[in-house]
Amino acid sequence: MATQATPLPGYGRDDRFFLTMAVAMALIIVAGFTLQLAMGRSSFASPPLVHLHAIVFFGFITLYVVQNVFVTRGSIAFHRRLGWIGAVWASAMVVIGITITATMVRNGTTPFFFLPAYFLVMNSLSILCFGGLLAAAILLRRRTEWHRRLVYCAVAVLTGPAFGRLLPMPLLIPYAGWAVFAAVMVWPLIGILADRRRHGAVHPAWAWGVGALIATQLATAWIPHTPLGIALYAAVTVGHPGAQIAPLEFPPPPAGPLITGR
Protein backbone atom coordinates (compact mmCIF):
# COMPACT_ATOMS: atom_id res chain seq x y z
CA MET A 1 0.00 0.00 0.00
CA ALA A 2 2.75 2.44 -0.86
CA THR A 3 1.57 5.73 -2.34
CA GLN A 4 2.35 9.39 -2.78
CA ALA A 5 1.82 11.60 -5.73
CA THR A 6 0.21 14.88 -6.58
CA PRO A 7 -3.56 14.40 -6.95
CA LEU A 8 -5.08 14.84 -10.38
CA PRO A 9 -6.88 18.17 -10.85
CA GLY A 10 -10.53 17.88 -9.88
CA TYR A 11 -10.13 14.87 -7.60
CA GLY A 12 -8.01 15.79 -4.61
CA ARG A 13 -7.04 13.32 -1.93
CA ASP A 14 -10.50 12.61 -0.46
CA ASP A 15 -8.64 11.49 2.64
CA ARG A 16 -11.56 11.53 5.07
CA PHE A 17 -13.80 9.53 2.77
CA PHE A 18 -11.29 6.71 2.38
CA LEU A 19 -10.51 6.69 6.11
CA THR A 20 -14.23 6.52 6.93
CA MET A 21 -14.76 3.66 4.52
CA ALA A 22 -11.70 1.80 5.82
CA VAL A 23 -13.14 1.97 9.33
CA ALA A 24 -16.56 0.87 8.02
CA MET A 25 -15.04 -2.17 6.30
CA ALA A 26 -13.13 -3.07 9.46
CA LEU A 27 -16.31 -2.79 11.54
CA ILE A 28 -18.22 -5.07 9.15
CA ILE A 29 -15.49 -7.69 9.45
CA VAL A 30 -15.45 -7.40 13.25
CA ALA A 31 -19.25 -7.66 13.32
CA GLY A 32 -19.29 -10.73 11.10
CA PHE A 33 -16.76 -12.69 13.09
CA THR A 34 -18.10 -11.49 16.45
CA LEU A 35 -21.54 -12.77 15.49
CA GLN A 36 -19.93 -16.03 14.43
CA LEU A 37 -18.37 -16.41 17.86
CA ALA A 38 -21.53 -15.36 19.71
CA MET A 39 -23.63 -17.90 17.79
CA GLY A 40 -21.23 -20.72 18.63
CA ARG A 41 -20.11 -21.15 15.02
CA SER A 42 -16.47 -20.39 15.81
CA SER A 43 -14.22 -22.21 18.20
CA PHE A 44 -10.91 -21.26 19.78
CA ALA A 45 -10.13 -24.97 19.55
CA SER A 46 -9.71 -24.59 15.79
CA PRO A 47 -6.41 -25.73 14.23
CA PRO A 48 -3.42 -23.32 14.29
CA LEU A 49 -3.83 -22.59 10.57
CA VAL A 50 -7.27 -21.09 11.26
CA HIS A 51 -5.86 -18.81 13.96
CA LEU A 52 -2.98 -17.80 11.69
CA HIS A 53 -5.48 -17.01 8.95
CA ALA A 54 -7.54 -14.82 11.30
CA ILE A 55 -4.50 -12.95 12.66
CA VAL A 56 -2.97 -12.30 9.24
CA PHE A 57 -6.18 -11.23 7.53
CA PHE A 58 -7.45 -8.97 10.28
CA GLY A 59 -3.93 -7.65 10.74
CA PHE A 60 -4.02 -6.48 7.14
CA ILE A 61 -7.37 -4.76 7.70
CA THR A 62 -5.87 -2.99 10.71
CA LEU A 63 -2.91 -1.97 8.59
CA TYR A 64 -5.28 -0.61 5.93
CA VAL A 65 -7.02 1.59 8.51
CA VAL A 66 -3.68 2.78 9.91
CA GLN A 67 -2.45 3.61 6.41
CA ASN A 68 -5.48 5.80 5.83
CA VAL A 69 -4.90 7.50 9.18
CA PHE A 70 -1.34 8.32 8.14
CA VAL A 71 -2.51 9.78 4.83
CA THR A 72 -5.21 11.85 6.53
CA ARG A 73 -2.61 13.26 8.93
CA GLY A 74 -0.11 13.90 6.15
CA SER A 75 2.38 11.32 7.45
CA ILE A 76 3.31 10.19 3.96
CA ALA A 77 6.79 8.91 4.90
CA PHE A 78 5.31 6.42 7.38
CA HIS A 79 2.64 5.53 4.84
CA ARG A 80 5.28 4.66 2.26
CA ARG A 81 7.30 2.50 4.63
CA LEU A 82 4.26 0.58 5.83
CA GLY A 83 3.11 0.18 2.25
CA TRP A 84 5.91 -2.24 1.42
CA ILE A 85 5.17 -4.22 4.56
CA GLY A 86 1.57 -4.41 3.36
CA ALA A 87 2.69 -5.72 -0.01
CA VAL A 88 4.61 -8.60 1.57
CA TRP A 89 1.77 -9.20 4.02
CA ALA A 90 -0.73 -9.45 1.17
CA SER A 91 1.42 -12.05 -0.57
CA ALA A 92 1.28 -14.20 2.57
CA MET A 93 -2.51 -13.72 2.66
CA VAL A 94 -2.91 -15.18 -0.82
CA VAL A 95 -0.95 -18.29 0.14
CA ILE A 96 -2.74 -18.72 3.47
CA GLY A 97 -6.17 -18.06 1.95
CA ILE A 98 -5.79 -20.73 -0.72
CA THR A 99 -4.24 -23.16 1.77
CA ILE A 100 -7.06 -22.93 4.29
CA THR A 101 -9.66 -23.20 1.52
CA ALA A 102 -8.04 -26.37 0.22
CA THR A 103 -7.86 -27.73 3.77
CA MET A 104 -11.58 -27.19 4.36
CA VAL A 105 -12.47 -28.80 1.04
CA ARG A 106 -10.19 -31.78 1.72
CA ASN A 107 -11.72 -32.25 5.17
CA GLY A 108 -15.23 -32.07 3.77
CA THR A 109 -16.09 -29.12 6.04
CA THR A 110 -17.25 -26.55 3.50
CA PRO A 111 -20.34 -24.57 4.57
CA PHE A 112 -23.49 -26.47 3.57
CA PHE A 113 -24.99 -23.45 1.79
CA PHE A 114 -22.26 -23.56 -0.89
CA LEU A 115 -21.61 -26.29 -3.41
CA PRO A 116 -18.21 -27.73 -2.41
CA ALA A 117 -16.70 -27.09 -5.85
CA TYR A 118 -18.16 -23.57 -5.84
CA PHE A 119 -16.64 -22.88 -2.42
CA LEU A 120 -13.22 -24.03 -3.62
CA VAL A 121 -13.31 -21.80 -6.69
CA MET A 122 -14.99 -18.87 -4.93
CA ASN A 123 -12.46 -18.55 -2.14
CA SER A 124 -9.47 -19.20 -4.39
CA LEU A 125 -10.47 -16.70 -7.07
CA SER A 126 -11.51 -14.12 -4.50
CA ILE A 127 -8.13 -14.06 -2.79
CA LEU A 128 -6.42 -14.00 -6.20
CA CYS A 129 -8.65 -11.06 -7.18
CA PHE A 130 -7.60 -9.31 -3.98
CA GLY A 131 -3.94 -9.97 -4.76
CA GLY A 132 -4.29 -8.85 -8.38
CA LEU A 133 -6.03 -5.58 -7.50
CA LEU A 134 -3.47 -4.84 -4.80
CA ALA A 135 -0.59 -5.59 -7.18
CA ALA A 136 -2.10 -3.18 -9.72
CA ALA A 137 -2.47 -0.58 -6.99
CA ILE A 138 1.20 -0.96 -6.04
CA LEU A 139 2.28 -0.58 -9.67
CA LEU A 140 0.22 2.62 -9.81
CA ARG A 141 1.34 3.88 -6.40
CA ARG A 142 2.53 7.19 -7.82
CA ARG A 143 -0.91 7.86 -9.29
CA THR A 144 -2.69 8.40 -6.01
CA GLU A 145 -6.27 8.46 -7.31
CA TRP A 146 -5.79 5.12 -9.06
CA HIS A 147 -3.84 3.60 -6.20
CA ARG A 148 -6.25 4.29 -3.39
CA ARG A 149 -9.34 3.24 -5.35
CA LEU A 150 -7.79 -0.05 -6.43
CA VAL A 151 -6.67 -0.79 -2.86
CA TYR A 152 -10.21 0.04 -1.72
CA CYS A 153 -11.68 -2.49 -4.19
CA ALA A 154 -9.11 -5.09 -3.11
CA VAL A 155 -10.03 -4.67 0.55
CA ALA A 156 -13.73 -4.81 -0.36
CA VAL A 157 -13.11 -8.41 -1.47
CA LEU A 158 -11.99 -9.25 2.07
CA THR A 159 -15.39 -8.26 3.47
CA GLY A 160 -17.05 -11.14 1.60
CA PRO A 161 -16.51 -13.71 4.37
CA ALA A 162 -17.86 -11.24 6.93
CA PHE A 163 -21.04 -10.73 4.91
CA GLY A 164 -21.25 -14.50 4.64
CA ARG A 165 -21.54 -14.56 8.41
CA LEU A 166 -23.99 -11.66 8.71
CA LEU A 167 -26.44 -12.70 5.98
CA PRO A 168 -28.97 -15.52 6.54
CA MET A 169 -27.03 -17.82 4.23
CA PRO A 170 -29.09 -21.03 4.68
CA LEU A 171 -32.18 -19.12 3.58
CA LEU A 172 -30.40 -17.87 0.47
CA ILE A 173 -29.62 -21.31 -1.03
CA PRO A 174 -28.91 -21.67 -3.97
CA TYR A 175 -28.05 -17.97 -4.37
CA ALA A 176 -25.88 -17.53 -1.27
CA GLY A 177 -22.77 -16.78 -3.33
CA TRP A 178 -24.57 -14.14 -5.35
CA ALA A 179 -25.92 -12.56 -2.15
CA VAL A 180 -22.38 -12.17 -0.79
CA PHE A 181 -21.25 -10.74 -4.12
CA ALA A 182 -24.09 -8.19 -4.08
CA ALA A 183 -23.14 -7.13 -0.55
CA VAL A 184 -19.47 -6.68 -1.50
CA MET A 185 -20.44 -4.60 -4.52
CA VAL A 186 -22.01 -2.03 -2.21
CA TRP A 187 -18.51 -0.77 -1.35
CA PRO A 188 -17.44 0.29 -4.86
CA LEU A 189 -20.96 1.61 -5.49
CA ILE A 190 -20.53 3.93 -2.51
CA GLY A 191 -17.18 5.03 -3.91
CA ILE A 192 -18.65 5.72 -7.35
CA LEU A 193 -21.51 7.74 -5.88
CA ALA A 194 -19.08 9.65 -3.66
CA ASP A 195 -16.93 10.56 -6.67
CA ARG A 196 -20.01 11.72 -8.55
CA ARG A 197 -21.23 13.82 -5.64
CA ARG A 198 -17.89 15.42 -4.77
CA HIS A 199 -16.34 15.82 -8.20
CA GLY A 200 -19.16 15.50 -10.72
CA ALA A 201 -17.29 12.64 -12.42
CA VAL A 202 -16.39 9.01 -11.72
CA HIS A 203 -12.72 8.10 -11.68
CA PRO A 204 -11.85 5.35 -14.22
CA ALA A 205 -10.17 3.25 -11.51
CA TRP A 206 -13.64 2.23 -10.35
CA ALA A 207 -14.35 0.63 -13.73
CA TRP A 208 -11.27 -1.56 -13.39
CA GLY A 209 -12.03 -2.46 -9.79
CA VAL A 210 -15.68 -3.24 -10.45
CA GLY A 211 -14.74 -5.10 -13.63
CA ALA A 212 -12.35 -7.32 -11.68
CA LEU A 213 -15.01 -8.10 -9.07
CA ILE A 214 -17.64 -8.92 -11.69
CA ALA A 215 -15.22 -11.06 -13.72
CA THR A 216 -14.28 -12.98 -10.56
CA GLN A 217 -17.91 -13.66 -9.70
CA LEU A 218 -18.81 -14.78 -13.23
CA ALA A 219 -15.80 -17.12 -13.29
CA THR A 220 -16.79 -18.42 -9.86
CA ALA A 221 -20.30 -19.22 -11.06
CA TRP A 222 -19.09 -20.89 -14.27
CA ILE A 223 -15.88 -22.83 -13.50
CA PRO A 224 -17.26 -25.31 -10.91
CA HIS A 225 -19.68 -26.71 -13.52
CA THR A 226 -17.00 -27.27 -16.14
CA PRO A 227 -14.64 -30.26 -16.55
CA LEU A 228 -11.88 -27.94 -15.30
CA GLY A 229 -13.77 -27.27 -12.09
CA ILE A 230 -14.52 -30.94 -11.48
CA ALA A 231 -10.90 -31.88 -12.20
CA LEU A 232 -9.67 -29.17 -9.84
CA TYR A 233 -11.93 -30.42 -7.06
CA ALA A 234 -10.77 -34.00 -7.63
CA ALA A 235 -7.10 -32.99 -7.59
CA VAL A 236 -7.49 -31.07 -4.33
CA THR A 237 -9.47 -33.76 -2.50
CA VAL A 238 -7.79 -36.95 -3.72
CA GLY A 239 -6.94 -39.16 -0.75
CA HIS A 240 -8.98 -37.02 1.65
CA PRO A 241 -12.54 -37.20 3.09
CA GLY A 242 -13.67 -34.46 0.72
CA ALA A 243 -13.27 -36.87 -2.19
CA GLN A 244 -16.35 -38.72 -0.93
CA ILE A 245 -18.48 -35.57 -1.16
CA ALA A 246 -20.23 -34.71 -4.41
CA PRO A 247 -18.71 -31.45 -5.67
CA LEU A 248 -21.96 -30.16 -7.20
CA GLU A 249 -24.44 -31.14 -4.50
CA PHE A 250 -25.25 -29.14 -1.38
CA PRO A 251 -24.03 -31.01 1.70
CA PRO A 252 -26.65 -31.71 4.39
CA PRO A 253 -26.78 -29.21 7.26
CA PRO A 254 -24.68 -30.29 10.26
CA ALA A 255 -26.46 -32.00 13.13
CA GLY A 256 -24.91 -29.48 15.53
CA PRO A 257 -23.55 -25.97 15.07
CA LEU A 258 -21.48 -25.31 11.95
CA ILE A 259 -17.95 -24.76 13.23
CA THR A 260 -16.26 -23.03 10.30
CA GLY A 261 -12.64 -23.09 9.28
CA ARG A 262 -11.81 -26.67 10.22
Cα–Cα nearest to 205, from 7, 2, 38 = 7
Angle (CA) 156-158-164 rounded to 5° is: 105
Given this model, what pLDDT does residue 260 score? 56
Q: Annotate 48-77 with b (16+ C-beta within 10 A) or e (fewer).
A: eebeebeebbeebbebbbbbbbbbbeeeee
How many CB atoms within 10 Å of residue 29?
Answer: 22
User: pLDDT at position 35, please?
Assistant: 80
Evaluate whether 200 touches 176 at the Cβ level (below 8 Å).
no
Q: Comparing C-alpha atoms, which of 129, 131, 145 is closest to residue 3?
A: 145
Where the chain has pLDDT below 70, the residues are: 1-13, 38-46, 255-262
Looking at residue 11, its pLDDT comes to 42
pLDDT score for 54: 83
pLDDT at res. 134: 97
User: What integer pLDDT is reported at residue 249 of this predicted model?
Assistant: 96
Indicate the residue type of 86: G
Radius of gyration of the chain (CA): 19
pLDDT at 76: 81
Tell me the per-residue pLDDT of 124-134, one tens digit each, with 9 for 90 and over. 999 999 999 99
Q: 176 by DSSP, 3-state: which?
A: helix
pLDDT value of residue 137: 96
Q: Tens digit of pLDDT for each residue in 208-244?
A: 999 999 999 999 999 999 999 999 999 999 999 999 9
Whole-number Å distance between alpha carbons of 251 and 116: 8
Integer Cα distance of 72 and 29 in angstroms: 22
